[in-house]
Amino acid sequence: MKKEGVIDLFDNKYVVWFSEIGKDDKAIAGGKGANLGEIYNAKMPVPPGFVVTAQAYQYFIHKAGIDSMIKEKLSSINYEDTAQLDKVCSEIRDLIVNSKMPDDLSSQIIEDYGHLDASEIDYSKGGSALEMLKRKPEPVFVAVRSSATAEDLAEASFAGQQDSFLNVKGKDDLIKFIKKCFASLFTARATYYRNKQRFEHDKAYLAVVVQKMINSDKSGVMFSKDPSYNNENVVIEAVWGLGEGIVSGLISPDHYVVSRDLEILETKIVTKKIALTRDSSGGKLTVKLKDEIANKQVLKESELKNLAHYALLLEKHYGQAQDVEFCLEGGNIFIVQTRPITTIAGRGDKEGKGIVTDQIPIVTGQPASPGIGVGKVKIIKNLKDLDKIKTGDILVTTMTDPDMVVAMQKCTAIVTDEGGMTAHASIVSREMGIPCIVGTNNASSILIDNEIITVDGFTGKVYKGKIAEEKKKEILPVVPTQTHIKVIVDLPSFAQRAALSKAKAVGLTRVEGIIAESGKHPKFFEDNNQIKDYEEVIFKGIDKIAQYFDEVWVRTSDIRSDEYSHLQGAPKDVEANPMLGMHGIRYSLKHPELLKAEYRAMKRVAK
């Protein structure tokens, strides 16, 4: 007799190939698996693979006899006791990883894994079946990735960073890492968030994508429409080796622009000092490139046209502009991922807005966010240097990271040595409307602290001195609608600019921005008996924002132990899991005088 809620192996397929699924199959393959199936069936060159379904996870848990044990352990959790939550979740993960996978399920997975490298057998040499099997190559490297099945679970997955594993090889390791993906359903973060969202743990399932790894000669990203400017051209960026270098901003990519008629309009070749690649065991290597390779064009004309063609096909299929990751191996193109472009609505015009001058630029790079900025150079080599940044300065660094965001908001422009259109500096600058140039290669070594420069974010050129007036992205009024539209304003210095939107209310002000502008951590005020000063900092910040709006919704402070470490008086110890650590209302209840000061500040503004 079949136990209620458990799916019989003969009633369902526990392993499905990309060819068998599409975007509507999230309940079987999870969001990631369903999307890969969708673009595979849209005839895109997707690396081959299959999905171990969410029902396979359920079958494994039941057959292993651990479902009741997991339920019992979950029922014992005190979700506000971080140490106990970590301990119980670790025990559940160990239980899953150490449990034997049912033979019928593991056999099906291993059989399909064997089919991934069947195309690599050289049948042209002939011989008996036995001889051909002897010529079978080594097992292929695969990526093993978690794929969440429902929106609630997807949010918990994001919060918990459920696991993915690259360069997995061999049937034993494959089964081991699939179980590790299953186990990652019970990271402390994911478990906590499911409980917080009242999503039943025994209704949370996970699919696992198993996809052949491509040993990339070249990799990159492309946009089916320019993400920065109002034109219909396809923008492509590429590097040698693996694509991680371009997404992280570690490597400056070549930049290409292709028309929708597949005419190559622009080619910009940069020096690519390094490449990320894979060794024979699957480990990641950083390789220093010889000058002849570093300065060589990555993509051929035929490759550019084929890539642009795929980008346009994906845009047509999804009905909106796409941000696409790709790689090439042996001249063959593979589409790895596609997602909508999020900045299309905020694009500006490029033509006629750059600086017209006979002056020779002192630095050139890739224009990543439009506008013109004038100010003092501040070279940032590490987070400790962020204190140098004052409102109106120009941040110059190798590449920005999330800890720099508050400082970036003060800047009139941003210039980086590395990166392309998808680097952190590019994305954040476009969102903030700050002029930005990336991939200059040498800005941090050529420019000098405190010298005045002009940054042309339209053309990617930096000039000595002030040779033009500042020009920022225009803020247009919100479109009249029955929906009550609000804005987000974290920094008082941005309130006036936000008010140009004509929105009447602020939907969210996070006081961390106000705290960061003060240069002092809340702990500093508490340790030095300066609670009144802390109240004044919060009051002045919120009051300045409130001057421009009829209504402001404020969130009390929420600073994790791994954030704002450069602020004066910041705690030195970082928790093992800051996301689940002492922050937000938990921190405020432990430090009630700080919370009361924030409340008093808000009350004063309200009056």
DSSP at 225:
S
Residues 187, 201: contact at Cβ < 8 Å? no
DSSP string, 582-604: S-HHHHHHHSHHHHHHHHHHHHH
- Strands 15-17, 505-510: pairing is unpaired
Residues 105, 176: contact at Cβ < 8 Å? no
Task: List helix spans (H) across 405-447.
Answer: 405-410, 424-432, 443-446
3-class SS shares of the chain: helix, strand, coil, % to 5: 40, 20, 40
Residues 325, 243: contact at Cβ < 8 Å? yes
Cα separation, 271 vs 289, whole angstroms: 10
Residue 4, CB-side half-sphere exposure with 13 Å CA sphere = 0
Classify burial at 25, counting beta carbons within 10 Å of its beta carbon; exposed 0-12, middle 13-18, buried 19 or more. buried
DSSP string, 85-103: HHHHHHHHHHHHHTSPPPH
Residues 211, 145: contact at Cβ < 8 Å? yes
- Strands 413-416, 394-397: pairing is parallel
DSSP H or E run through 70? helix 67-75
Cα separation, 546 vs 548, whole angstroms: 5
Cα separation, 526 vs 346, whole angstroms: 42
DSSP string, 393-422: -EEEES---GGGHHHHHH-SEEEESS--TT
- For tokens 């994790």, name the residue: 560
Provide the annotated active-site residues.
424
